Amino acid sequence: MVAATASYLAARQLQGRWLLRIEDLDKPREQPSATANIIQTLDAYGFEWDGEILYQSQRQDAYQAALATLQMHTYSCTRSRKGLPTLPAIRVRTPDDPICFTDNIQGNYCQRLSRDVGDFVLLRADGLFAYQLAVVVDDAFQGVNQVVRGADLLDNTPRQIWLQQLLGLPQPNYAHVPLVLNEFGQKLSKQNLAPALNTSERLQTLVAALRFLQQPCPDACEFSSLSACWDWAIAHWDMHHLKPSQA
């Protein structure tokens, strides 16, 4: 909710388009109702996306074409499992020079991929395309020029910039917002048993998200509707209130 709110406000304040992408690459692990629940929750909270929803599961040809373009920079890597050979994963070679960018919230960030990450997977041994390749291809395809997302993806960004450079694709601007954590310092997620958003308290939840994002939002009772709260948030959104934080 927090990351979606921040990205929505950043786009709307600049009169830009807010795009909805369903990252459903790993179909075997996807819960049958997961996609429908995401779309229904966003709609219930008043998010209005532009254009058609993009489903990564329907973009295999585009990822395969990008992988073919990267052929000179990739290699196959086969590992046996319990003594049995498996299909090879495809990895991309990483540079020794640091890759740096300026995040609109976190500030300057650098990573030496060869040392900090190593050659990373673009096509998994089970035949599924990796997130790093898919997101780079889809950002370019959709004309994304501003990415606002959670700080847990900050260290993914240099890998994506490296792929953008290899593929000759434009580099968006990035902003990584702080994460909402539980009492154990873990990101709120299904894996950590976080409860689903309560759509019966939408206005209160939106106000809480805005305050977490350091926006001086009035109390929920001061808004006549959810739409009125969104109007206030768009008019007053200021990313400069957010402090650098990776968690």
**What is the structure's pLDDT at 34?**
86
What pLDDT, on a 0 to 100 scale, did the predictor assign at position 81? 58
Closest CA to 5 of 117, 150, 120, 113: 150
Res 85: pLDDT? 60
pLDDT at position 246 is 46
Confidence at residue 87, expressed as pLDDT on a 0 to 100 scale: 80
pLDDT score at 232: 97
From CA 54, how far away is CA 94, in angstroms rounded? 29
Structure confidence at residue 237 (pLDDT)? 97
DSSP string, 159-179: HHHHHHHHHT-PPPEEEEEPP
Question: Average pLDDT by consecutive 10-residue portion of the chain (247 residues)?
Answer: 96 96 85 88 96 96 98 86 73 97 96 96 95 98 97 96 98 95 62 64 95 95 96 96 73
The single residue listed with the structure tokens 């310092």 is 185
For strands 107-111 and 99-103, give the pairing: antiparallel
Q: What is the pLDDT of residue 183?
A: 65
Q: What's the predicted TM-score (pTM) here? A: 0.90
Structure tokens at 81: 């499992």
